[in-house]
Structure 1
Amino acid sequence: MHDLIRATLSSSVYDVAVETPLEAMGPLGERLGRPVFLKREDLQPVFSFKLRGAYNKLASLSEAERAKGVICASAGNHAQGLAFSATRLGVRSVIVMPTTTPSIKVEAVKRLGGEVVISGDTFDDARLHAIALGEAEDLTFVHPYDDHQVIAGQGTIGVEILRQHGGPISAIYLPIGGGGLAAGVAAYVKFLRPGIRVIGVEPEEAASMTAAFAAGYPVPLNEVGIFADGVAVRQAGDETFAILKDTLDEIITVSTDEICAAIKDIFEHTRAIAEPAGAVSLAGLRKHAPSLAERGAAIAICSGANINFDRLRHVAERAELGERAEAVLGVTIPEKPGAYRAFIGLLGPRAITEFNYRIAPGANAQIFVGIGLKRGEAEKAELVETLERHGHRVLDLSDNEVAKLHIRYMVGGRVEGLENELLYRFEFPERPGALLRFLEGLAPDWNISLFHYRNHGSDYGRVLAGIQVPPSERPAFEAYLDTLGYAHWDETANPAYAMFLAPR
């Protein structure tokens, strides 16, 4: 630990990095009843904190090592940080990026002076190729987080925070992917001011450090959601885990909707648009800070702002849900004249954000409705109680991923008499041939009965598929999905599917 603190304090990151401001977020602080500050790492030259660790690692290399060059595997901020740092030091940098990497990121690395090698369908494939290529060409491999000098470079953020805010601090919230930033900052803060609570924050769908804490050592996750791709790490680092197990007070997780709400908060305060990973720690602060007994400041880190423009639509859709300013409900109403008007009357003056309906045979109709809320969960509970009291069956879909990603666009697609349909949610790699590979592996009698795809500007497309599989062949179907290697979830029992799409 003393070696790490010494390396942090002697770091040369300011050859390329800037000391970023610690900005007060007044409106959010007023809502939470305490001072709230945001550390603006999105203002670094490459719009991310990753520059600090990458440069510190390169600066620590010997002249002989620099002369040979460096290599890494990355599809995002680490790639840009390393390319920028290497160019500044006159060092050759090779960046291995998977085939799913958006062209905007590839071009950004090239502009910064990196030699881009495209290899592999996944990050793990790219990493293995980078290691092999590094050995073949005698290049130094620069790990994105599990490296002493990288961690020390990220720790300079903690040095700045404590220098910039000398008053009482209740808690500092740190985003965790592999754990490099969190380990560097937590080690320094706990060394100098151990009374400050240090809280790690991870996405619910990529909680690798949470899994490591539960197991007592880093373990691989079976599935990793990629919405917050900058912290979507399958397994926490060994060195980062060793530091964080002794320096973190707590780890919490946040949902996609909560991250989107934090992105909105950052935009409204700074007019900057954080990437999802960049808003993770503020999402944790918004969720956790009200439980703090101490009245000191709460601090979060905006760790990056490298977001594809076409992802903003998805962020905007989900931000209201993350703020609990919208409810998404499935409601049963009578299929008769006047029922729609009576239902709208029960909603009162509330704003209707979405309404999906299609006429169907039978006495009842199913509607998918979004409703604006001003008082969050309490108002939603009152509304549901009112609707049920007037004879409507209500299904709260506000936290149902299948409903929010897919079913809201498919209302009215029910089929009579369809047998043996299974419903699966997938994350397909966003590359040519991904769908064809999926289809070619299906047995001839496994019929696709439903399919919905949405692109959210990320490396993966989100797919909902219905497949008719005889019960006797389901073990073979599951084995096929495991072999395919695409992230997948069985949603056959999902209540939103039962309400709007399942065969009668």
Structure 2
Amino acid sequence: MSLRFATRERPSGDAPADLDLLRRTLAARVYDVARETPLEPATLLSARLGDRVLLKREDLQPVFSFKLRGAYNRMAALDAAERANGVIAASAGNHAQGVALAAAKLGIRAVIVMPVTAPRVKVDAVRRFGGEFVEVLLTGDSYSDAQAAAARIEAERGLVFVHPFDDIDVIAGQATVGMELLRQLPAPPEAVFVPVGGGGLLAGIAGYIKALSPQTKVIGVQAADSDAMARSLETGSRVALAEVGLFADGTAVKQVGALTFELCRRHVDAMLRVDGDAICAAIRDVYQETRSVPEPSGALALAGLKQYAATHGLRDATLVAIVSGANMNFERLRFVAERAEAGEQREALFAVTIPEERGSFRRFCDALGRRSITEFNYRIGDARQAHIFVGVQTASRDERAAVVAAFRAQGFAVLDLSDDELAKLHLRHMVGGRSPLAQDERLYRFDFPERPGALPDFLAQLHPDWNISLFHYRNHGADQGRILVGIQAPADEQAALQRFLASLGYPHCDESDNAAYRLLLRS
């Protein structure tokens, strides 16, 4: 999807309010529990973009998120009576961990309400950090649902609400991120990119940086399906979203804060929206630079930075992205790895139709050439035409066009599915099924060393005397590639088929009697 870029004229600043935020930031009590995080160069990405890219590593905090700063600063300011009553917080996870650690550090009882969609790693961490001081309640599907439940409990029990973003002490705590990065640089950066949910981090960083370095652009980045701040700044008033996407769960907020909105309206230069594929690509970028894995919200800022650099033609500019958190569910890595290639437009997906006749499969392989194949799905289903789903590693949209041209030069009909969400999410996994045409089919599983050109080499060796009725391959990044092939050979040709299989030189296993195969794929 195209990424929209929103800018507006900033209203004149409210000097007393800005001065108050600056004073509170300088006096913030964050370093009792938080650490000054490093500002690290992203050397690979810098070389690729032609700019100096720096990562502010808030994922290295004790709770693996910047949220500890604001939560502790707010709770450290409570008076004796408020501490005795205890606190309550609502959070999708990272703020909850900050409140939990602060509660244990300060000896304050805390009730923390989290949506049921919060990643398990975050829920477990809240209980671990808070120990006996914390009670965790799970309710609702989003932060806003959890906030509504927390408001009811706050009134019932007389607890102090520790807001995750719309509180001046919380904002001042988050602003120390901006204070640090300006101190860590010999000269102000051209732009700082900040992930946005409710707006606390963006409001704090923007308020502080604009006071000391007004020429530095402060740019907020949101997931396209959770863009409450972008919409609010575009319309000039706070917008409440009916639904939010949950992939970037740490920033899945339906409505931004009143205070954060006003501060962002005064100080933020622009907002960017990025999609899930761009976020996944940014997660991989952070991993390649640091060998750490940020959560989706933690990679938002870098996704926006890359988009900004690509569209603005910058050269030798100093750009900073806040890596805001690393509380990633391990199971989510499967989706991230799958979509990262699409986020960089390094994988193109095609549906290719070729005639079911001798030689057409060879011409299909010729059209692919020596390109790295990421996926190959085929199931015989038509006596006249074969429909193949194939993924190809590409470097650009121009190369996608070149692949399409190569298929068409062979006379094949081709459909580019690289931007088709249905194909990327579902259809790629549903190619196949039972076929009445798969007579005399034997099923074989092959292993081969995963290296560039390995699959084309395998395809080139397939004997033309037997028909391929099923083919499945997906590059999962492992050392060994795995292929499932259906080969049609009459009973009197089985001995010749076995000699052919032995000549391939690839380890293989006959799966023709596999129960799942017979249940799901055999007619």
Cα-to-partner distance string for 1:319-350 (whole Å, 9 max, x where unaligned): 11112221112222223333222112101110
Query: Which whole-Å CA distance do the structure 1 matches of 2:126 and 2:166 have between them?
Result: 22
Deviation at 1:397, TM superposition (A): 2.0
The 8 Å contact of residues 220 and 235 in structure 1, kept in 2 or not, is answered as yes
Question: CA offset at residue 366 of structure 1?
Answer: 2.5
Query: Where does residue 225 of structure 1 map in the other structure?
Result: 245
Q: How far 1:401 sits from its partner (Å)? A: 2.0
Aligned-partner SS, 2:225:
helix
1:195 maps onto 2:215 in alignment: yes
- Alpha-carbon distance in 1 for matches of 2:147, 2:188: 42
1:32 aligned partner: 49
User: Partner residue of 1:411?
Assistant: 431
Q: Is the 1:170–1:294 Cα contact (8 Å) retained in structure 2?
A: no
* 1:176 Cα deviation from its structure 2 partner: 0.8
CA gap of 1:364–1:220, structure 2 versus 1, over 3 A, is: farther
Residue 170 of structure 1 contacts residue 295 of structure 1 at CA under 8 Å; is this kept in 2?
no
Judged with a 3 Å threshold, the aligned counterparts in structure 2 of structure 1 residues 351 and 222 are, in CA distance, closer, same or farther, namely: same
Contact preservation (8 Å) 2:121, 2:328: no
Instruction: Quote how far apart the aligned CAs of 1:303 are.
Output: 0.3
- State the distance in 2 between where 1:31 and 1:107 align: 38
Q: Which of 228, 232, 235 is the aligned partner of 1:208?
A: 228
Could you tell me which of 306, 314, 317 is aligned with 2:327?
Answer: 306
Measure, in 1, the Cα distance between the counterparts of 2:19 and 2:243.
36
Structure 2 distance, partners of 1:135, 1:64, is 16
Larger radius of gyration: 2
Kept in 2: contact 1:173–1:201 (CA 8 A): yes
Matches within 5 A, 1:154-173: 154-173=174-193
Out of 152, 161, 170, the residue aligned to residue 172 of structure 2 is 152
Structure 1 residue 31, shift from structure 2 partner: 0.9
Tell me: CA distance 1:293–1:316, structure 2 relative to 1, closer, same or farther (3 Å).
closer
1:270 to 280, 285, 290: 290
Identity of aligned residues (%): 54
Decide whether the 8 Å contact of 2:93 with 2:119 is kept in 1: no
| Range with greater deviation from structure 2 (167-176 or 147-156) | 167-176
Q: Which runs of 5+ in 2 are unaligned?
A: 1-17, 436-523
Identify the match of residue 359 of structure 1 among 380, 389, 393. Answer: 380
1:335–1:220 Cα change, 3 Å: farther
Letter in 2 for 1:177: G
Distance 1:122 1:246 in 2: 28
Instruction: Give the aligned length.
Output: 415
Which of 73, 80, 83 matches 1:56? 73
1:237–1:333 CA distance, 2 compared to 1 (3 A) = farther
Q: Which runs of 5+ in 1 are unaligned?
A: 416-504
The CA deviation string for residues 1-26 of structure 1, in whole angstroms up to 9 with x for no partner, is 21111111110111110000000111
Match of 2:261 among 236, 241, 264: 241
Compared CA separation, residues 177 and 362, structure 1 to 2 (3 A): farther
Q: Give the superposition deviation at 1:152.
A: 0.9
Relative to structure 1, is the Cα distance of residues 208 and 366 closer, same or farther in structure 2, using a 3 angstrom cutoff? farther
Offset at 1:48? 0.2
RMSD: 2.0
Q: Tell me the distance in 1 between the aligned counterparts of 2:233 and 2:165.
A: 17
Residue 22 in structure 1 maps to residue 42 in structure 2: no
Letter in 1 for 2:93: G
Q: Aligned-pair distance for 1:292? A: 5.1
**1:51 and 1:19 mapped to 2: Cα distance?**
12
Q: Deviations over 1:170-216 (max 9, x none)?
A: 11111111111111001111111111111111111211111112222
Residue 111 (structure 2) aligns with? 94
- The offset of 1:54, in angstroms, is 0.5
* 8 Å Cα contact 1:168/1:296 also seen in 2: no
